[in-house]
Amino acid sequence: MLPETNFTTTSNLTTTIPNTGGGGCPPVGIQTPVIQPTFYTIDVILGLLGNVVALWIFCFKLKTWNPNHLFLFNLVIADFMLLLNLPLRIDSLLRGHWVFGDGLCRIGLFLIFSNRTASTALMTVVAIYRYFKVVHPHHRFNYMTKRQAAFVLVLVWLLVISPRVPMLAFNHIKGSGNNTQCFFFTPHKETARVIIILVAMHRMLTVLEFIFPLAILLFCSIRISSFLRARHMRKPDKVRKAMRVCAAIVAVFTVCFLPSTVTTIGVWVIRTYRPLDCAAFYTIVKLSHVSYGLNFLNSALDPFVYVFSSSMFRKALLGALPCAMRCGQNAGENTSPSTTQEELNSMRANGDSITVA
């Protein structure tokens, strides 16, 4: 069920058989790790819990919305694109074959890859928004209206969906009966040229949509850190709080998307420069199973980004918790109200905007 791999069923175990047309490796099965369906199940459970709570807070608890909330809300939508599809993948891994037909196969693969692109794009937008809020508080970008933010989101979604639309135009089903599988195309000698181009475009996007956003995230984080250290040397707590957002986004981004990017490059390099090194190819395919499990984990970790990225979201979440669970937090907040107010007044006086509500 992973990109660029084929699956067959042997003795009720799902195995991976590399394509032999282009690589020259014999069709020796590679056993899918048992942990794979378990990992996907954990992704679904944690992801649904976190994102259902996030969706409930966004829809029923936030009294006012700003552009940052719109960006984060669209990240929730992107996560549901994956979470609603993963149960089908889990079922196929457990059965050893695909039973949901060609239509759901196309839509499922489209949603999986679109989720990855949308997550990287929206995390980048959130980081850029915070960068301008902190480093350039008087820039006109900070006076973006909700209508303008919606226009930005339309552009983002067009950029996300457009490269993946061709996946909906082709049949991804292979085999029949108990050998029916749904997987992304693996090009070989008999494959149509358009399919080869589609797979090459997928590989390029997988790498580029990681490298460029990561560069932007690191730039924003470094600039925010240096700016705050220069302006608030006597208030290290304020610097740490402001850096939590960037640190959370970079951490989630790296943990979830770096492994799948590395394995994609690995498959590409081995097929191109070492087509007869079957041991290396089988190893990178095994690693790809784990990497895509981490890739899907982003939907479970994104709620942490919401908590760190929006003070209003944190307040709404605390307000939704039972009194017994939040009394300690409230007590801590009530012990130093004057300090909080003093910091807010100081930020306004300096023209800084460190916290994005």
pLDDT in tens, 248-281: 788 888 999 999 899 888 888 887 888 788 888 8
Domains recognised in the chain with CATH numbers = 7-317 (1.20.1070.10)
Tokens of 226: 């240096």
| Pairing status of strand 173-174 against strand 181-182 | antiparallel
Query: Can you give the pLDDT at residue 351?
Result: 44
Of 77, 45, 47, 46, give the one whose Cα is nearest residue 59. Answer: 77
- Residue type, position 85, single letter: N
Which value, in Å, is the radius of gyration of the alpha carbons in the chain? 23
Give the pLDDT confidence score for residue 191 in this predicted structure. 55
d(CA 176, CA 103): 15
List C-alpha distances in Å: 328 to 310, 318, 320, 335.
21, 11, 14, 11
Give tens-digit pLDDT for 67-107: 988 999 999 999 999 998 999 989 988 888 899 998 999 99
What does the alpha-carbon distance between residue 51 and residue 306 come to, in Å, rounded to a whole number? Answer: 10
* pLDDT score recorded for residue 311: 75
> Which residue type, as a one-letter code, is found at position 237?
D
Q: Hey, which residues does 31 pair with through a beta bridge? A: 15
Please report the pLDDT score of residue 323 as a whole number: 61
Which regions in the chain score pLDDT beneath 50? 1-23, 27-31, 187-190, 324, 331-357
Chain-centroid distance of CA 198 in Å reads: 22
Amino acid identity of 93?
L
What pLDDT does residue 10 have? 34
Tell me what pLDDT residue 15 has.
39
356: buried, middle or exposed (CB in 10 Å: 19+, 13-18, 0-12)?
Answer: buried
